Structure 1
């Protein structure tokens, strides 16, 4: 079976521009921002917003590289197909299965988190029962049609955006002294141990933590392939990445550390909740908990969608069982959704039975996986750029080629080295490497007697209307 180099006609182009735009806007907002930012502030101090800015620039540049490729050749497999085109079938196979593995583990994890949140309101229902219920609902949503996925994500993202904009307006007024009885002062940036209380180096070590909270921005480029104008939607999504990160991550973190001494932020407790409680907003904890639940459901929805499309692409290239590539009359890869969901169910059961052993291993082993994917995006762009330029396919260019892509590649490698050095992240990196090794070892099983290995190299793309 030939390598797919364009959008598969079996998938319906039912996603609207507003779906892709809202997915691009709200997809990056998750529990990693609402809760995980507490650990970053505790580590870096008031300068935490600079850590978010540095990481945001890295992620935005990776998205720019991906946008260049996706705009030139919109494909359902996105960076998986570009890896295959640039470096051969093993690269595409490994990237695809790694990213699928990352998302199905995240789906299981987020289902458990959602179960824990709802269990706090309904303690009589076990967490695992609630988690399975959430998975069933999201599975049904994804099986209906790609438009139902897009519509759900549109409203999930809308709720998250409204919540964070409301937060920025309220805390902004508090910081500027426009709120009654405001005690905010810009001296909070330096008065409690200085701007860098634990040293300048913490700004960069924090990148390892922050980059995890920004995963998912690339999902918009996969979803755009199922829209009527993929090239235009991809360019729009990529162009807004920097603004989204600056507003949602950098500005919100800056306002938090100005509104109160950073020493009052407790690791593990949402600094958003802590800030609103300090201002005196009634029910702040409950409101943010609902928003975090929406963020969890959003990740579940997007995770199942992404995992199913990756399986569809892998099966279409003979790198997964062929029956997974079947679609229903609504253009949904039903078996891809169901297989991905089954793994999610398995993760929920494992979390209930072996939370501190098997489930912990699964979470740790997916920790650095997306960094490997980001590395492959950079490498693919560096390889494909000159070829597509000669073919006249470039409609959207990466800045400063090749120096900026090389700098981003070196930065990702530095993050991986930091994970290897830091005892707290070393296990996660090691287990992610084990997961990668296992996936690569399975390559001959899937491709034997199916495909003739064409070896590494660029597969000339075909022009297509977008």
Structure 2
């Protein structure tokens, strides 16, 4: 195939990556809102901005690590340098789980939206989700620049719709603060519900951590990644707060928790113009599609990065003439199909719990890496240096540990079998790679990239056939 191994191409602007990060964090509330209101009512409007602030130490750790080690392998190369290659692979495999469960999740949102118009049989729902992923797989093999431009257009459109519909709800005459203040208030299930919601809703911010995987495809300096990461926290915090209060005032929390797609259903029940409900559905689908785009891209780069470190076969780092890792994209599709088939109808709680546990572990290892590298390699140039330094990273580790512990308590029984199977696969991969090296390429030993390799990688990207 002409153009293979063309290398990743630097085509993503700062704005496009901000749109991808914030858009990916915002995806999903069309169908996920009932779960939020079930856990903690309109209190989610308070929890979202608090979570954004709480996650800042982790965000700053990721931003510093990206600036000093700007590789698609991201958490893998960070942990590898801070600890060892084995820990790097373990971190990368957990990170891949966090990323790869998102595409099937948002694909199910399309199914939920379709259910507002027609009755979709349960057996057909996974098939529709899989069809959505197959369509994106085809598109994913074209230029990353198209994804970036699309992200900007979709982000501006969907946020504009959300702000517009929220303003309409406030002024419609149907919005009443008593729907929030009464019926248990902002936190109808008390402290336990608030803590459970905070742990679960951490998932909504996972998008900020995916952006370092795309650093080898950006047109801006690595030190500016902090702008992208913080935007991925605080832009969604404001939008979520506005939308949650706007929806929460339309009906008591228990009523909203019992709806499949709250916004259009409430619009219909309250006799609002049908166009408002249709706009809410359109915005919800755009959010879902942006999330699908972002996490799919990141998942493929996680595999690409592991191959770059020779922890996976070289096939995963093969790119087509558009600079897309097409084999990695195919593997992401395969995992998406697996999770879509395994999840069943309880997909929201299932995916939230699964992702939160893995994300907490990845955050912890990322903060630990930043902490250790400050001591292990103080001489390394850090274009972005996180304020406060190691104490900040220590706080990030404590927050990450809390996320993981609480997340484990929320895991439904049907989440354990795929987790166990996934961990077993991760443990078998290094063994399979030993067999690959003994039979195919003895020189293909794992490597750990450092700051000194940045220029070499960039030169390889400019001249992939040199």
TM-score, L = length of structure 2: 0.81
Report deviation, 1:13. 0.5
Aligned match for 1:287, one of 262, 279, 301:
279
CA distance in 1, matches of 2:174, 2:351: 45
Distance (Å, rounded) in 2 between the aligned partners of 1:328 and 1:371: 34
How many Å apart are 1:16 and its aligned residue?
A: 2.3
Residue 344 (structure 1) aligned with residue 336 (structure 2): yes
1:218 to 206, 209, 230: 209
**Does the 8 A contact of 1:364 with 1:432 survive in 2?**
no
The CA deviation at 1:247 is 0.6
Q: Which residue of 2 aligns with 1:161?
A: 159
Confirm or deny that 1:96 pairs with 2:92.
yes
Cα gap change, 1:314 to 1:421, in 2 (>3 Å): closer
C-alpha distance in structure 1 between counterparts of 2:55 and 2:282, whole Å: 28
Q: Which residue of 2 aligns with 1:237?
A: 228
Give CA-to-partner distance per residue, 1:272-329, whole Å, 9 cap, x none. Answer: 4466555834344333223322233223322331222111111222211222221223
Contact 1:27–1:157 under 8 Å retained in 2: no
Q: How has the CA–CA distance of structure 1 residues 347 and 271 changed in structure 2, closer, same or farther, with 3 Å as cutoff? A: closer
1:300-319 aligned at under 5 Å gives the runs 300-319=292-311
Distance 1:300 1:335, change over 3 A: same
Kept in 2, the 8 Å contact 1:368–1:432? The answer is no
Which of residues 162, 176, 188 in structure 2 aligns to 1:197? Answer: 188
Asked whether the 8 Å contact 1:367–1:429 carries over to 2, the reply is no
Q: 1:276 to 1:386 in 2, by over 3 A?
A: farther
Corresponding residue for residue 429 of structure 2? 442
Q: Identify the residue that residue 3 of structure 1 maps to in structure 2.
A: none
Q: Shift of residue 161 of structure 1?
A: 1.8
What is the 5 A alignment of 1:102-181?
102-115=98-111, 117-118=113-114, 126-127=124-125, 130-171=128-169, 174=170, 179=171, 181=173
Show the counterpart of 1:58.
54
2:37 matches 1:37 = no
User: What residue is the counterpart of 2:461 in the other structure?
Assistant: none
Question: Which of 408, 411, 427 matches 2:399?
Answer: 411
Q: How many residues in Structure 1 have an aligned counterpart in Structure 2?
A: 443
State the alpha-carbon separation in 2 of the partners of residues 46 and 152 from structure 1. 32
CA–CA distance in structure 2, aligned partners of residues 361 and 196 of structure 1: 23
Deviation at residue 133 of structure 1 after TM alignment: 3.6
Shift of 1:92: 1.8
Give the distance between the partners of 1:197 and 1:79, measured in 2 at CA: 38
Equivalent in the alignment of 2:368:
379
Distance 1:225-1:388 versus aligned 2 partners, 3 A rule: farther
Superimposed CA distance per residue, residues 173-206 of structure 1 (whole angstroms, 9 cap, x where no aligned partner): x2xxxx2635533x55433334543323322221
Question: Is 1:432 the equivalent of 2:419?
Answer: yes
Task: Summarize deviations over 1:322-369 as a string: whole Å, max 9, x none.
Answer: 222212232222221122223334555x35xx94799x9999755622
CA contact (8 A) 1:208 1:419 kept: yes
Which ranges in structure 2 are unaligned for 5 or more consecutive residues? Answer: 459-466
Unaligned runs of 5+ residues in structure 1 are 1-7
RMSD: 3.6
Question: For 2:382 and 2:286, how far apart are their aligned partners in 1?
Answer: 37
Map 1:324-343 → 2, pairs under 5 A? 324-343=316-335
The equivalent residue for 2:359 is: 370
Establish whether residue 394 from structure 1 lines up as the match of residue 387 from structure 2: no
Q: Tell me the CA shift for residue 64 of structure 1.
A: 1.9
TM normalised by structure 1 equals 0.81
Question: Does the alignment pair 1:79 with 2:75?
Answer: yes
Task: Give the Cα–Cα distance (whole angstroms) in 2 for the partners of residues 14 and 398 of structure 1.
Answer: 27
Shift in CA distance, 245/113, structure 1 to aligned 2, threshold 3 Å: closer
How far apart, CA to CA, are the structure 2 residues paired with 1:337 and 1:374? 25
